[in-house]
Chains A and B, each alone.
Chain A
Amino acid sequence: DGGITQSPKYLFRKEGQNVTLSCEQNLNHDAMYWYRQDPGQGLRLIYYSQIVNDFQKGDIAEGYSVSREKKESFPLTVTSAQKNPTAFYLCASSNRGRETQYFGPGTRLLVL
C-alpha cells in the first residue's frame, strides 16, 4: 500500500526543546517537501529536497533543519530558535520531472 506517512499525528513541544517530525514515503519519489500551514493560511514552504543528500531552503526555513540520508525519509527538526512553532506540518513528495505533489496526513505541533 503506497503512500506517505507522517508521525506523530500530534506533538507537544516544551519551550527550548528541539523536536523532530518524521516523514516516510514508499512511492519511490525523488523529491520531498515540508510545508507549514497556519489557521486560515495557505501552505508555506519550509524546505525541499530533490535528491538524497541535497536539500534547499524554502520561504520560511529559519528555526528549522532537515536531512535527506535516504530516498524514503525526510525528517524535519523544529529547533528552539523557532519562536512560533504551533502549526500544522505537511510533508509532500513528487516524482522528479513531474510536478504533482502528494501530501501525507500531517503532524499538528503544539507548544506547552
Chain B
Amino acid sequence: QKEVEQNSGPLSVPEGAIASLNCTYSDRVSQSFFWYRQYSGKSPELIMSIYSNGDKEDGRFTAQLNKASQYVSLLIRDSQPSDSATYLCAVKDSGYALNFGKGTSLLVTP
C-alpha cells in the first residue's frame, strides 16, 4: 500500500505569516510530487509540482522535496485569508495514477 500522510489540521496562521504544510510518503520510487489546493465544495487546483530534491519557488509558494527523507513540504509566505483551504499532497510513482493524502486544512485569520 502506497501511503501519503498529511496532518489533517486545522493549521491556523495569522494573516501575513508563513504557513508550512508537510507531507510524507512511503514509496521510495516516487518520482513526481504535487500540491493541490481545494476550496470547500470545489475541485482541486494545481499549485505546484516538484520533481527533484531542493526548493522550487513560484510567487508566494515554495515547494521543498527531500527524497532521502521521503518528505515534501509547501510553504506559503505572506498568507492571506483567501489561502484558507485544504491542501492536498499527491505523489506519483512509475505508474500512471496519483496517490493523494487526505489533506491539511489551513485557516488564515485576519
Contacts and interface: CB of A to CB of B under 8 A. Distances in A.
Contact of A40 (B97, B100, B102): B102
A103 B43 contact: yes
A103 B4 CA distance: 20
A45 interface: yes
Interface residues of B, number: 22
A35 B32 CA distance: 19
A44 B103 CA distance: 13
A58 interface: yes
B8 interface: yes
A47 B91 CA distance: 17
A90 B43 contact: yes
Contact of A100 (B8, B49, B103): B49
Q: What's the dominant secondary structure at chain A's contact region?
A: strand
A101 B36 CA distance: 10
Contact of A106 (B4, B8, B43, B49): B43
B27 interface: no
Interface residues of A, number: 22
B24 to A, nearest CB: 14
Interface in A38-53: 40-45, 48, 50
B42 A45 contact: no
Contacts of A40: 8, 102
Interface of A: 31, 33, 35, 40-45, 48, 50, 56, 58, 90, 99-106
Interface of B: 4, 8, 31-32, 34, 36, 42-46, 49, 88, 90, 92, 96-98, 100-103
14 contacts: A35-B100, A42-B101, A43-B44, A48-B96, A48-B97, A56-B96, A58-B97, A99-B34, A99-B98, A101-B46, A102-B46, A103-B43, A105-B43, A106-B43
